[in-house]
Amino acid sequence: MLTSPQQKQSVDTLIHAKWIARVNIDEPLIDHTIVVDQGIIVDLLPQTQARQKYQAESTYHLDEHIVTPGYINAHGHAAMTLFRGYADDLPLMTWLEDHIWPNESRWLSAEFTRVGSELAIAEMIRGGTTCFSDNYFFSHDVGSSAQKIGIRAQLCPTILNIKTSWANHVDEYLAQAEDSFHKFKSSPLVNSILGPHSPYALNDAELSKVVTKANDLDCMIQMHIHETAEEISNSLEQYYCRPIARIDRVGMLTSKLQAVHMTQLTEHEMDLIAERDVKVVHCPESNLKLASGFCPVSSLRARDITLALGTDGAASNNDLDMMGEMRCASMLAKAVANDATELNAASTLRMATLEGAKCMGIDDIVGSIEIGKQADLCATALNELANLPVYNPISQLIYTANRDQVSHVWVAGNALLKDKKLTTLDCDKLKQDVLHWQEKLAP
């Protein structure tokens, strides 16, 4: 008697790929399938077995692609994309005090933030980014745009002691940040923490208020720290100690701190942040362009410090290209350490994915391709002549590929980029809005 063939299991999506970089394991899978259902990776198996076992509403055949976790841009200022190229080739404090802050004071608004953020999100998705951290004002509007478009985001509402159109003083900034925290507390895509700008932007009492609020909310803090040598010398002159010592004194130097830039560090300071499990966000291209200094990547990695990767804002970078950031980070780390083996391709990819997720405290749901995690994924074609031959697909991804080769991006299983086309943004309308702001902002 004939037996009926085994009925296939129905799922939402099958992604058949030439290579799959899981990140939690260095060796890529070859000719395997990622099975996605209800936004979750439910299986990972050879393509022949997947075709026998599953049927899907959507099937992708990516025969010349490497699929990686989506990139996590661990630090940026999305709305400042409207200032891209506005004040180039200047040192940090001149750039901030003479150009960026005066124009933000004049133009900052919910609409400015929305348009700039959506421009940034469009660029990031097209480059393979599925999650970004945003240290800026009007965080409610940034978060709403992220939810609408379908990208994952960590909001870090900026906290300052100067008046802006968003808040008048530190207490109002903290109140706005707390509102943002509660507004997105139940969101599956967006969460909100605290974003004090820098040690030099707040006095000790104000820094203490940030720590108290973070403890009350049980949330993380992200702040620019030890970005330039000038920051260190000014702190020594004004407070008779280095910035890390100041923030340690007020109780901020803990595992809940995401310290951005960190280009000026002593051996003792690196030992201390390792002991306290402080997370570090490296922004190599911004640091280079502003001549801020070099983050000691090799020394931080040797201490097993969580080290994520960020682009910083497009006003200082001038792009939000995580693939370019990865290549720069790897090569710069080798040069600074005088060691060609430092930050190899697999470690660099991990920095842009799983380490970013650890930095934000979301590595239980994203950052690697594992069964049970959210399907935040990026597919990059490696079929250009400049990529061939492919002996090591992860090396080719880091050292030869570029963001224009990203073809598909998924967040929680939803395709935000399909065959290089954005699916959740009206690009024509966005371009009109951006050009309108260009006319307003033109010097």
Domain total of the chain: 2
Q: Report d(CA 78, CA 313) in Å as an integer.
A: 6
Query: What would the pLDDT profile of 383-434 be if each residue is shown by its tens digit?
Result: 999 999 999 999 999 999 999 999 999 999 999 999 999 999 999 999 999 9
Q: Is there a single domain that holds both residue 224 and residue 261?
A: yes
Query: What would the pLDDT profile of 6-33 be if each residue is shown by its tens digit?
Result: 799 999 999 999 999 999 999 999 999 9
Q: What is the CATH number of the domain that holds 50?
A: 2.30.40.10
Phi, psi of 231, rounded to the nearest 5 degrees = -60, -40
Q: Is there a single domain that holds both residue 293 and residue 246?
A: yes
* C-alpha torsion 314→125→132→161, nearest 10: 40
Instruction: Kindly state whether residue 420 falls inside one of the protein's structural domains.
Output: no
Q: Is the pTM of this model over 0.85?
A: yes
On whether the CB atoms of residues 165 and 198 are closer than 8 A, the answer is no
Q: Report d(CA 378, CA 415) in Å as an integer.
A: 10
Q: Report d(CA 59, CA 61) in Å as an integer.
A: 7
Phi, psi of 265, rounded to the nearest 5 degrees = -135, 140
- What's the gap between Cα 430 and its chain centre? 22
Whole-angstrom CA distances from 169 to 30, 82, 138, 176 are 55, 25, 15, 11
Q: Report d(CA 163, CA 255) in Å as an integer.
A: 30
Other C-beta atoms closer than 10 Å to the C-beta of 150 total 20
Q: Report d(CA 3, CA 15) in Å as an integer.
A: 30
Cβ contacts of 211 within 8 Å, gap of 6 or more: 221, 250, 251, 252
pLDDT at 342: 98
Instruction: Kindly state whether residue 428 falls inside one of the protein's structural domains.
Output: no
Q: Is there a single domain that holds both residue 386 and residue 262?
A: no
Q: Is there a single domain that holds both residue 44 and residue 189?
A: no
Q: Is there a single domain that holds both residue 63 and residue 76?
A: no
Q: Report d(CA 60, CA 176) in Å as an integer.
A: 43
Query: What would the pLDDT profile of 124-182 be if each residue is shown by its tens digit?
Result: 999 999 999 999 999 999 999 999 999 999 999 999 999 999 999 999 999 999 999 99
On whether the CB atoms of residues 151 and 189 are closer than 8 A, the answer is yes
Instruction: Kindly state whether residue 188 falls inside one of the protein's structural domains.
Output: yes
Q: Report d(CA 33, CA 54) in Å as an integer.
A: 10
Question: Please, which pLDDT band fits residue 87 given cuts at 50, 70 and 90?
Answer: confident
Domain residues for the domain of 24 are 9-69+376-412
On whether the CB atoms of residues 298 and 324 are closer than 8 A, the answer is no
Other C-beta atoms closer than 10 Å to the C-beta of 99 total 17
Token code pair at residue 83 = 């200032």
Q: Is there a single domain that holds both residue 212 and residue 94?
A: yes
pLDDT at 5: 58
Residue 341 exposed, middle or buried by CB count within 10 Å (0-12, 13-18, 19+) = exposed
Q: Report d(CA 129, CA 378) in Å as an integer.
A: 8
Residue 3 has pLDDT above 60, yes or no: no
Q: Is there a single domain that holds both residue 93 and residue 123?
A: yes
Instruction: Kindly state whether residue 438 falls inside one of the protein's structural domains.
Output: no
pLDDT at 181: 98
Query: What would the pLDDT profile of 179-202 be if each residue is shown by its tens digit?
Result: 999 999 999 999 999 999 999 999
Among the candidates 360, 395, 423, a domain finishes at 360
Question: Please, which pLDDT band fits residue 4 given cuts at 50, 70 and 90?
Answer: very low
Q: Is there a single domain that holds both residue 342 and residue 387?
A: no
Mean predicted lDDT score pLDDT of the chain = 96
Q: Report d(CA 212, CA 207) in Å as an integer.
A: 9
Query: What would the pLDDT profile of 240-289 be if each residue is shown by its tens digit?
Result: 999 999 999 999 999 999 999 999 999 999 999 999 999 999 999 999 99
Q: What is the CATH number of the domain that holds 75?
A: 3.20.20.140
Question: Please, which pLDDT band fits residue 2 given cuts at 50, 70 and 90?
Answer: very low
Instruction: Kindly state whether residue 226 falls inside one of the protein's structural domains.
Output: yes
Instruction: Kindly state whether residue 432 falls inside one of the protein's structural domains.
Output: no
Q: Is there a single domain that holds both residue 220 and residue 323?
A: yes
Instruction: Kindly state whether residue 29 falls inside one of the protein's structural domains.
Output: yes
Whole-angstrom CA distances from 68 to 89, 139, 384, 407 are 34, 29, 18, 12
* C-alpha torsion 344→346→351→354, nearest 10: -160
Q: Is there a single domain that holds both residue 243 and residue 349?
A: yes
Q: Is there a single domain that holds both residue 57 and residue 80?
A: no
Q: Report d(CA 257, CA 221) in Å as an integer.
A: 5
DSSP states of 137-177: S-HHHHHHHHHHHT-EEEE--EE-SS--SS-SSHHHHHHHH
On whether the CB atoms of residues 170 and 202 are closer than 8 A, the answer is yes
On whether the CB atoms of residues 374 and 60 are closer than 8 A, the answer is no
On whether the CB atoms of residues 393 and 21 are closer than 8 A, the answer is yes
HSE of 196 in the Cβ direction (CA atoms, 13 Å)? 29
Instruction: Kindly state whether residue 184 falls inside one of the protein's structural domains.
Output: yes
Question: Please, which pLDDT band fits residue 1 given cuts at 50, 70 and 90?
Answer: very low
Q: Are strands 190-192 and 29-37 parallel, antiparallel or unpaired?
A: unpaired
* C-alpha torsion 46→51→57→58, nearest 10: 50
Question: Please, which pLDDT band fits residue 299 given cuts at 50, 70 and 90?
Answer: very high
Q: Is there a single domain that holds both residue 394 and residue 254?
A: no
